[in-house]
Amino acid sequence: MLEASHHYFHQAADVIGLAPKVREILLTPNRVIKVEIVEEADDGQLMHYTGFRVQHNNARGPCKGGLRYHPTMDEDHAAALANLMTWKTAIVDVPFGGAKGGIDCDPSQMSRFELERVTRRFVEQCKEIIGPTIDIPAPDVNTNADVMAWIMDEYSRHAGFSPGVVTGKPLHLFGSDGREEATGRGVMYALEEALRDRGGEISGTTVALQGFGNVGSHAARLIAERGGKIVAVGDHVGGVSNEAGLDVTALVAWATEHRTVAGFAGGDAFEGPEIITWPADVLIPAALEDAIDENNAADVRAQIIIEAANAPTTPEANAILHDKGVLIVPDILANAGGVTVSYFEWAQNIQQFRWELDRVNTELEKYMRRAYGSVREVAREKNVDLRTAAFVLAIQRVGRAALSRRSVHETIDLS
Ligand code: NAD
């Protein structure tokens, strides 16, 4: 996975002729942490998991990035996702660097108490390397506001009251209005901008969506509210489709109760992976990485892909889709709404001040549209696709900050 993110980095670095020395400075992570978590399960057996945190770059501010609880979590995933966070925070221009981490556990097989114990042990092992001015975790796959509350509580035992140590907290515990739906809302703005580039609008546009968790479900709801038709949704269990458009509110209620969209009565069932090649105007992968690869890319029928998930498209698939003329809005732009509102939450925590929901959403829209506009401008100027343009912009911003903070022997041109 790290290889894929490096591939895109070098593709963009080649466009601006970036010196090898700067590539090495920008690609090398600041810190890679691995911790062993051994805790008692409810039945007295031992649970043994491994936790990871990779702090990739802090040239533009404290490291920032999600925590993922998933059996596939490992150092490679953490490093690749931390890398993406560095570029993402630069693209939306929030004062953070990039980090990512997680634990290789499966929360669906754990009780709430087991999850809490494992989370607290992880924080205990990492408490010296996280903090409001060092590294600020946030929710990602299989982690939510409850997990963030435990992190805040455990960290505060060590450092004193510290709401700014994590974002995505519950509203009643210094969370921000609008944070939970922020990534999905940002995805909706990215879709609006992409449709504008292709001369369309959300109303009447058909959308196929993979993943119906935090990001996917909020994106679906907001797109449906604007007249878009969610014609198919697939997840890790199965999928459901309806040509006339799924009733998203009812689907959210079903998925909340059953932890899957499979079995929903308001449409026809299909096998989950079919979602990638579903006949729709737009495909939104909002699940895990590598969903679109060289085996299914040629069969993708959507003309626009909004990468709500991190790294859903392999470089091989990206090349195939590019040749087919598919417009891809890359992850580091499309799903940046989450970290943007995380920044608002952190800023509110530090100021001990609360923003109204309207202000959060208005600012989020401004940040997302401005970021999209900047990436579009670079794409036109350099005659490259949006992903390459997004990486170029990020490399320039992070590179300038990194090089201003240290001396190098030669003059480096980042234009
Ligand atoms: P989540 O845990 O809330 O939901 C994950 C969804 O993916 C679920 O619907 C699950 O069924 C589905 N899924 C899991 N494995 C699958 C598989 N093999 N095939 C099909 N579907 C599968 O997670 P989330 O927070 O919504 O995150 C989704 C993606 O968005 C991830 O790539 C994450 O890194 C990225 N992301 C999340 C945020 C955020 O704020 N939560 C921000 C930026 C990016």
Whole-model pTM: value is: 0.96
Closest CA to 138 of 109, 186, 175, 185: 175
Pocket (CB within 6 angstroms of ligand 1): 139-142, 183, 210-216, 234-236, 272, 286-288, 308-310, 335, 338
Please choose from 183, 256, 344 the residue to mutate so as to test ligand 1's pocket, defined by most ligand atoms within 8 A of CB.
183
- Which secondary structure element, helix H or strand E, spans residue 100, and what is its range? strand 97-103
pLDDT of residue 409: 77
Q: Are 394 and 59 in contact (CB under 8 A)?
A: no
Closest approach atom of ligand 1 to CA 288: 32
Tens-level pLDDT at each residue, the chain (415 residues):
889 999 999 999 999 999 999 999 999 999 999 999 999 999 999 999 999 999 999 999 999 999 999 999 999 999 999 999 999 999 999 999 999 999 999 999 999 999 999 999 999 999 999 999 999 999 999 999 999 999 999 999 999 999 999 999 999 999 999 999 999 999 999 999 999 999 999 999 999 999 999 999 999 999 999 999 999 999 999 999 999 999 999 999 999 999 999 999 999 999 989 999 999 999 999 999 999 999 999 999 999 999 999 999 999 999 999 999 999 999 999 999 999 999 999 999 999 999 999 999 999 999 999 999 999 999 999 999 999 999 999 999 999 999 988 877 777 778 8
Q: Which residue has a Cα nearest atom 4 of ligand 1? A: 213
Q: Which residues pair with 49 in a beta bridge?
A: 37
Residue-wise DSSP of 339-382: HHHHHHHHHHHHHT----HHHHHHHHHHHHHHHHHHHHHHHHHH
How far is Cα 210 from Cα 228, in angstroms, rounded to an integer? 16
Task: Find all residues with CB under 8 Å of 49, minimum gap 6, and list them.
Answer: 36, 37, 103, 104, 105, 118
- Residues annotated as catalytic are 100
How far is Cα 332 from Cα 313, in angstroms, rounded to an integer? 12
Centre of ligand 1 to C-alpha 214, Å, is 7
How far is Cα 85 from Cα 310, in angstroms, rounded to an integer? 10
The length of the chain in residues reads: 415
Q: In what order do the strands lie in the sheet with 327-329?
A: 268-270, 239-241, 229-234, 206-210, 282-285, 304-306, 327-329
Centre of ligand 1 to C-alpha 192, Å, is 21
| Domains of the chain, earliest start first | 29-173 (3.40.50.10860), 176-415 (3.40.50.720)
Q: Which residue has a Cα nearest atom 38 of ligand 1? A: 140
Centre of ligand 1 to C-alpha 213, Å, is 6
Closest approach atom of ligand 1 to CA 68: 34
Q: Are 202 and 304 in contact (CB under 8 A)?
A: no
How far is Cα 79 from Cα 253, in angstroms, rounded to an integer? 35
> Hunting for tokens 């970036």 — which residue is that?
18
Q: Which residue has a Cα nearest atom 34 of ligand 1? A: 310
Q: Are 12 and 392 in contact (CB under 8 A)?
A: yes
Q: Are 321 and 293 in contact (CB under 8 A)?
A: no
Please choose from 70, 136, 140 the residue to mutate so as to test ligand 1's pocket, defined by most ligand atoms within 8 A of CB.
140
Closest approach atom of ligand 1 to CA 217: 26
Residue 48 is which amino acid? H
Please choose from 214, 240, 275, 341 the residue to mutate so as to test ligand 1's pocket, defined by most ligand atoms within 8 A of CB.
214
